[in-house]
Each structure stands twice: as C-alpha cells, then as structure tokens.
C-alpha cells in the first residue's frame, strides 16, 4: 500500500494513561499494540518510562517492547533515566515532550520550559549514544489552559532550541483543542521558517471543540504529512481541564483515504482493533467510524415509500 501520510497511533500510551485506575492489564495493551501494527499503523506510541508512582498505568511498559513488530514502537520519556530504560527495553524511537507554556510545563512535568529543554538535551544525548531517533512534541503549541493564547513566535523559539539537539521531527500539539484551521496554517509556517526544511513538522490534535479533522485538513494544505491520533479516540489530557479527546485514528484514516491520500492502514482491520478495545475496556469510545461505518459501504435494501416525514 502507498503511504502518503503517516499516522502515529498514540492510544496505547496517551490513551491508556488517561483511563482511571486500576491500570489496564498488560495483555490488553499487548493485543492493542500488536493489532495496531497488524492493521498497518507504522508508528505506535506503546508506553512510557516515567515514575510508576506518577503513572501506574505505564509501569509495565517495558514488556510492550519485547516482541519485534514491523511497526516502529515508540516510548515517551521525560528524563535521562527514562531514556536509558526505554532504550534498554528496545524502544525504536524516544518521544520527548516540551511544553511551550511554562505554567503547563510545571503542571505537566514539574519543570519550567527551560528545564524541560535542558532535560531534552540529555535525552537526545542518550538517543545519540544508542543510535535511536528522538522525536519531540511541543505541548500547548496552540494555547494553554492556564495562560490562554500562546504566541507562534514562542512556539518557534522552543522549536529552534529543540532543533539544536539533532532532532529530526517536531510535532506541534494542540493540548487544549483550541486551534482553528487558520492557527494551524500560521503556526506550522512560523515554525518551518524558523527550523528550516530538515526537520519534519507533524501535528498532534485534539477534538475538544469539534475541530480535530478540520485542523488535519489545514495541516494537509500546509504540507504536513504526519499526524498523531488515538485508536477509537481514546484519551485526552488530564492536566488541561476540558481538553478531552485525541482525534480518532480510524476517523483520520477514513478522511485521508477519502481525500485520496494513502495511509498504509487497513481500515477494516483497524475498526476491528477499536471494537475489541471497547470490549476489553468495557467503554464506548468516541469514534465516529465505529458508529457510522465507512462511507458508501453498507448495502442497504431499497426502501419502501415513505409517508412524508421529510428529512434532508
């Protein structure tokens, strides 16, 4: 299959982390990661290497990196120790996070933005030693729950600082789901102008205000070809009040294929993974596709004449 656009599924880490305790069983997470890989998701954020006291849901992450898969199986880390543990476990990519908003950074990782950038340098150094790529997500790139608007110039400044460490990718995250499509256009352009063409800019979007897929389209128009999404739409951001809702992987894949972009993803297989996850977790996920199905798919019988209750 041709892959014009890359979708990274963050459900097993970002999504599962957002669920209330008790932690999801390891075998459920393993089935999820393997199902996503089999469905053609080329990159999967499978777990994190952070304090098990702070995030008990991810305490068993190492086990998710044991079995080799065709996909790139990636680990979120927030410090040098986590980076080493992730590399030891077999993570194929280290995912670092730096929040542009200082207030959010403190709440998120107990550090200022400057401290998080310094920490990222140490993470990047571990990645270089182990010959693993590091990818960096910039949180609150389109707004912060505590400080409101975030200036594109500040996003570009943090992106430029991060780019110093040999990072190949930067992902702009709409932590509170505040971006409108014109913001996507603006921030992507400002960041690209600042970091240059060697660093690929991706997007991590939330559907908090219904704009998730509109923002994907704005990203596509701006030339972005890499998007985060979460299977079933699982997850959100517990520290950004009201900021529920990663965009849903199957909804994104359906959109991309409808627009003529190849994703390399088998949509039916992905929907089966999402449905199995609903069954495993015992919850209804905010996936549109799980409810409505792919467009133009269902063969419905020719209906009888109606009695005149008009719709459109």
- For 63-89, give the DSSP string: GGGSS--SSEEEEEESSHHHHHHHHHH
Instruction: List binders of a second copy among 180-199 (CB under 8 A).
Output: 180-183
Q: How far apart are the C-alpha atoms of 72 and 11, rounded to whole Å?
A: 14
211 binds a second copy (CB under 8 A): yes
Distant-in-sequence, close-in-space partners of 283: CB < 8 Å, separation ≥ 6: none
Applying CB under 8 A, what is the total number of residues that bind a second copy? 83
Residue number with CB closer to a second copy (109 or 188) = 109
State which residue, 30 or 51, has the beta carbon closest to a second copy.
51
C-alpha dist (Å) from residue 292 to 7, 206, 250: 21, 20, 11
Does position 30 interact with a second copy (CB under 8 A)? The reply is no
Residue 189: φ, ψ to 5°:
-65, -45
Q: Per CB under 8 A, does 289 bind a second copy?
A: yes
Q: Which stretch binds a second copy (CB under 8 A): 66-74, 158-166, 186-194, 215-223?
A: 215-223
> Which two structure tokens, joined as six digits, stand for 138?
């910039």
197 or 311, CB closer to a second copy? Answer: 311
User: Known catalytic residue: 144?
Assistant: no
CB of 67 to a second copy, least distance (A): 25
Give, as ranges, the residues between 245 and 284 that touch a second copy (CB under 8 A): 248, 251, 254-255, 258-260
Residue 20 interacts with a second copy (CB under 8 A): yes or no: no
Range 150-169, binding a second copy (CB under 8 A):
none
Determine the interface stretch with a second copy among 106-114, 123-131, 186-194, 269-277 (rule: CB under 8 A). 106-114
Sign of CA dihedral 279, 282, 285, 288: positive
Q: How far apart are CA 73 and CA 71, in angstroms?
A: 6
The active-site residue out of 144, 217, 237, 248 is 237
Strand-pair partners of 28: none
- Minimum distance between the CB of residue 206 and a second copy, rounded to whole angstroms? 10
Which residue of 72, 208, 230, 249 would you call a contact of a second copy, by CB under 8 A? Answer: 208
| String marking each residue 52-81 x if it binds a second copy according to CB under 8 A | -xxx--------------------x-x---
Q: Which of 86, 93, 162, 173 is the binder for a second copy (CB under 8 A)?
A: 173
Does residue number 310 form part of the binding site for a second copy (CB under 8 A)? yes
The residues annotated with a catalytic role in the active site are 237
């Amino acid at each position: 299959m041709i892959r014009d656009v890359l979708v990274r599924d963050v459900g097993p880490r970002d999504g599962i982390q957002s669920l209330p305790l008790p932690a999801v069983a390891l075998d459920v997470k393993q089935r999820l990661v393997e199902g996503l890989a089999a469905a053609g998701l080329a990159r999967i954020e499978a777990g994190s290497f952070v304090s098990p006291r702070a995030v008990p849901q991810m305490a068993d992450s190492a086990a998710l990196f044991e079995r080799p898969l065709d996909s790139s199986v990636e680990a979120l880390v927030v410090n040098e120790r986590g980076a080493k543990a992730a590399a030891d476990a077999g993570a194929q990519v280290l995912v670092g996070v730096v929040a542009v908003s200082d207030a959010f950074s403190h709440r998120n990782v107990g550090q200022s933005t400057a401290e998080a950038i310094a920490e990222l340098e140490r993470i990047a150094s571990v990645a270089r030693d182990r010959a693993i790529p590091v990818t960096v997500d910039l949180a609150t790139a389109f707004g912060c729950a505590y400080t409101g608007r975030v200036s594109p110039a500040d996003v570009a400044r943090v992106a430029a600082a991060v780019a110093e460490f040999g990072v190949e990718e930067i992902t702009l995250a709409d932590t509170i789901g505040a971006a409108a499509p014109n913001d996507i256009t603006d921030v992507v352009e400002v960041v690209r102008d600042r970091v240059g063409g060697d660093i690929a800019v991706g997007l991590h979007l939330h559907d908090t205000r219904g704009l998730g897929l509109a923002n994907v389209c704005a990203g596509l128009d701006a030339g972005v070809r890499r998007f985060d999404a979460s299977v079933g739409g699982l997850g959100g951001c517990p520290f950004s009040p009201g900021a529920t809702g990663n965009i849903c992987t199957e909804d994104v894949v359906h959109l991309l294929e409808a627009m003529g972009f190849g994703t390399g993803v088998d949509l039916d297989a992905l929907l089966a993974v999402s449905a199995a996850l609903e069954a495993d977790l015992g919850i209804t996920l905010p996936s549109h596709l799980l409810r409505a199905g792919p467009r133009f798919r269902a063969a419905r019988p020719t209906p009888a004449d109606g009695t005149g209750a008009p719709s459109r």
